[in-house]
Chain A
Amino acid sequence: MKLFGSLSFRLALIYAGLFTVSVSLLGGLYFWAAIARPLGQVREQLAQEGEALSAVYRRGGADALAPLLERRAGDPSPRLAYHALLRPDGSVVTSNLPSWPRSFTTRWLRIEADVAREGDEDEYEALALDLPLEGEARLLIGRDIEDLDELEEGVRETLVWLLPALALLTLAGGALMSRAIGRRIDAMTATARRVIAGDLSGRIPRGRAGDDFDRLAETLNLMLDRIEASLEAVRRVSDSVAHELRTPLSRLKASLIELEAEPEAGAEPLRRAIEEADRLQSIFDSLLRISRIEASRHAAAFERVDLSELMLDAVDYYQPAAEAKGQRLTASVAPGLETRGDRDLLFQAVSNLLDNAIKYTPAGGLVAVSVGLVAGEILVAISDTGPGIAPEHREKVAERFFRAPSVEGVPGLGLGLSVVQAIAAYHRSHLRFESADPGLRVEWRLPRDDRPEERTD
């Protein structure tokens, strides 16, 4: 059955058992302290009295004992004293007990000792000691234990009802609790099964209490959000990869078919085929590079990199390209700014940015690079006088294969900025695309490493 299979119900059962045992223990302790121990004291007292009185009888017989017993009955003790002294034939010498067993049965007796006093009949219960005396005579002495008797009965009755009631209550409580918890867990299980079945939009319903389960549900929901977003991104990328590969593939195929039909056409279709194959390879290379960078969480290969030097290298590297387009490529670089990172990747990123700037800036334009310190961070800025990126596209330019409508016609894969973005994220740095009015201004903020020089070799 489901109820017994649930952890919470088993816990409730254990809890009920423990609770019942401890209540029983407590009851027993109370019983011993309030009833058993005082009763034992009374018994001890009676035994001592019995011994003394038997001795009196041995010495002086019934005549000596009877007045003693009567005086004892008049004692103002909190426990009333009872007695019955019987001759060997069973007739009474003296007694204040209403009844007693006709013949000796057992040493200790419980005897009803109701006493009529001032018109009311008080109920008394006496603990009595039945003592055979010399010569077949018989002495019964007792003490009132009505309070203890009542208490005992009360405790007995209470326990008889209390224990089963307690067990039932805790069981019922446990069942209720396990149902309440079970329902929450079932909701999570159901959601998980939905997700397993492929419905990634499934979310665990949240309660209002804000309790542990709600926090767990919230956390799991956030995890599902994250997974859904990643899967969505993967799906989008693989969709666009498939889409983007179709064009070069079909062109490649067209060139090859042309070559097959006319082997003499030779060089030109072959050149085009190689060009398309190159294009395909560079798409794959870029995608592979992006996913490698994105998959790298550790920064084991990070070293100190002099960004100022690296930027000057990059500007030097691109100078002929800018000059070939009649552009000015200027650099304003504060010296000695260091960061921690992968030198080759940083160069790759900067090189992609410069490549874009030079490619999209018209002939005669300006590409300005600056490196400086802003609020403790290194700010690398590359501004150009190209068409810029419309504000609504700035968020999307780093997506794979995204190309702004303004750059249509300029060859490109739409992967360059994705690579830059991946490298920036890998270096825990921030990349922003702003307007340079006109043109584009790329701002890249990198953490500065200004610890004193460390030499490893």
Chain B
Amino acid sequence: MHVLLIEDDARLAAFITKALREEGHLVDHRSDGKDGLLQASLESYDLIILDRMLPSVDGLKILQTIRATGDLTPVLILSALGDLDERVKGLRAGGDDYLPKPFALSELLARAEVLGRRRPAPDEPARISIAGLDLDVVGRTVSRAGRRIELTNREFRILEFLARNAGRIVTRSMLLEHVWDYHFDPQTNIIDQHVSRLRQKLDRGFETSLVETVRGAGYTIRRSG
């Protein structure tokens, strides 16, 4: 995945760049708003990670400019600004995701992964088959290795989100945002308890656990298995 990072804090930028490269991504870094904008127009990227506060050109301006040219590259906004509706502003300007500073690196990586791999597919598949799992999104039914599993509505949505992003890490915040549609820092292990209930239902009678915990990051469903 080809990532453009526009971030003026040298240490944070080095940190993020290193982590993304370790994940096997190709990273270009620009520390100035103008350079970043220029770079974004010169090359095609899978993902742009954009700091909100930048020297010379404001992050939101860059985002608006990029979008004005019809460029739909996914943009993840990083912001340390104190305004409460900062997230709303960022998303309105055309951002795809928003992460307030300070953030855990694992959170950033997981979100970058999900955003960067997103394909512009207008209709998501109504059936998902992954790792022996069969999800009928319309009929809201699940079966594992042919065996029907009864899930609550909420559990189904957790599983659907995990399955759609199979092979990638899904963090607790991402689950909260996509399954419950609330944006806040849970700080507690409530999500874990939901996942563990889901897991109990999914794994009953099976040797392997379908939903794996990634320590310090979140959850994932492996593609193979």
B22 within 8 A of A: no
Given the known inter-chain contacts A301-B84, A301-B88, please indicate yes or no for A344 contacting B184, CB distance below 8 A.
yes
B188 within 8 A of A: yes
Complex Cα spacing A300 to B86, Å: 11
Q: How far is the CB of B196 from chain A (nearest CB, A)?
A: 8
B82 within 8 A of A: yes
Contacts of B197 in A (CB 8 A): 320
Q: How far is the CB of B4 from chain A (nearest CB, A)?
A: 28
Given the known inter-chain contacts A285-B185, A313-B180, A344-B184, please indicate yes or no for A321 contacting B102, CB distance below 8 A.
no
Asked whether A317 lies within 8 Å of B190 as measured between CB atoms, the reply is yes
Q: Which residue of A lies closest to B194 (CB)?
A: A320
Complex Cα spacing A220 to B187, Å: 43
Most chain A CB atoms below 10 A, which of B185, B187, B196: B187
What number of A-B contacts does a CB cutoff of 8 Å give? 54
A285-323 at interface with B (beta carbon < 8 Å) = 285, 288-289, 291-293, 295-296, 300-301, 313, 316-318, 320-321
A253-303 at interface with B (beta carbon < 8 Å) = 274, 281-282, 284-285, 288-289, 291-293, 295-296, 300-301
Complex Cα spacing A318 to B197, Å: 13
Given contacts A274-B216, A296-B84, A316-B154, 20 further A-B contacts (CB under 8 A): A281-B102, A285-B102, A285-B187, A291-B82, A292-B84, A301-B85, A301-B88, A313-B180, A317-B180, A317-B190, A318-B190, A320-B193, A321-B190, A324-B193, A342-B84, A344-B183, A344-B184, A351-B186, A351-B190, A355-B190
Complex Cα spacing A321 to B189, Å: 9
B182 within 8 A of A: yes
The number of chain B residues touching the other chain, given as a range, is 20 to 34
Contacts of A317 in B (CB 8 A): 180, 190, 194
B83 within 8 A of A: yes
Complex Cα spacing A348 to B188, Å: 12
Asked whether B182 lies within 8 Å of A343 as measured between CB atoms, the reply is yes
Q: Mark B175-218, 1 if CB is under 8 A from A, else 0.
A: 00000101111111010011011000000000000000000100
10 contacts between A and B (CB under 8 A): A274-B216, A289-B185, A293-B84, A313-B182, A317-B180, A320-B190, A320-B197, A348-B182, A348-B184, A351-B190
Complex Cα spacing A317 to B84, Å: 24
Q: How far is the CB of A422 from chain B (nearest CB, A)?
A: 11
Q: Which residue of A lies closest to B101 (CB)?
A: A288
* The 10 residue pairs across chains A and B that have the minimum distance between CB atoms: A301-B85, A320-B193, A348-B184, A347-B182, A344-B183, A292-B82, A296-B84, A344-B184, A321-B190, A321-B193
Q: Mark A26-64, 1 if CB is under 8 A from B, else 0.
A: 000000000000000000000000000000000000000
Report which of A295, A318, A345 forms a contact with B82, defined as CB distance below 8 A: A295
* B interface, CB within 8 angstroms of A: 82-85, 88, 102, 154, 180, 182-188, 190, 193-194, 196-197, 216
Q: How far is the CB of B105 from chain A (nearest CB, A)?
A: 12
Asked whether B84 lies within 8 Å of A351 as measured between CB atoms, the reply is no
By the criterion of a CB under 8 Å from any partner CB, how many residues of chain A are at the interface?
29
Q: How far is the CB of B195 from chain A (nearest CB, A)?
A: 9
Contacts of A320 in B (CB 8 A): 190, 193-194, 196-197
Q: Which residue of B lies closest to A284 (CB)?
A: B102
Q: How far is the CB of B157 from chain A (nearest CB, A)?
A: 11
Contacts of A342 in B (CB 8 A): 84
Complex Cα spacing A405 to B84, Å: 33
Contacts of A343 in B (CB 8 A): 182
Complex Cα spacing A295 to B84, Å: 9
Q: How far is the CB of B187 from chain A (nearest CB, A)?
A: 6
Complex Cα spacing A301 to B90, Å: 13
Q: How far is the CB of A313 from chain B (nearest CB, A)?
A: 6
Main secondary structure of the interface of B (DSSP, over half): loop
* A interface, CB within 8 angstroms of B: 274, 281-282, 284-285, 288-289, 291-293, 295-296, 300-301, 313, 316-318, 320-321, 324, 342-345, 347-348, 351, 355
Contacts of A324 in B (CB 8 A): 193
Complex Cα spacing A78 to B147, Å: 139
Q: Which residue of A lies closest to B216 (CB)?
A: A274
Complex Cα spacing A321 to B88, Å: 30
Contacts of A344 in B (CB 8 A): 182-184
Q: Which residue of A lies closest to B85 (CB)?
A: A301
Contacts of A289 in B (CB 8 A): 185
Q: How far is the CB of B83 from chain A (nearest CB, A)?
A: 7
Contacts of A285 in B (CB 8 A): 102, 185, 187
Q: How far is the CB of A385 from chain B (nearest CB, A)?
A: 20
Q: Which residue of B lies closest to A354 (CB)?
A: B190
Complex Cα spacing A281 to B88, Å: 24
Most chain B CB atoms below 10 A, which of A284, A295, A317: A317
Contacts of A313 in B (CB 8 A): 180, 182
Asked whether B84 lies within 8 Å of A282 as measured between CB atoms, the reply is no
Contacts of B190 in A (CB 8 A): 317-318, 320-321, 351, 355
Contacts of B194 in A (CB 8 A): 317, 320
Report which of B82, B88, B183, B184 forms a contact with A351, defined as CB distance below 8 A: B184
Most chain B CB atoms below 10 A, which of A293, A313, A351: A351
Complex Cα spacing A324 to B193, Å: 8
Asked whether B154 lies within 8 Å of A345 as measured between CB atoms, the reply is no
Q: Which residue of A lies closest to B177 (CB)?
A: A344
Contacts of B85 in A (CB 8 A): 300-301
Complex Cα spacing A342 to B84, Å: 9
Q: Which residue of B lies closest to A348 (CB)?
A: B184
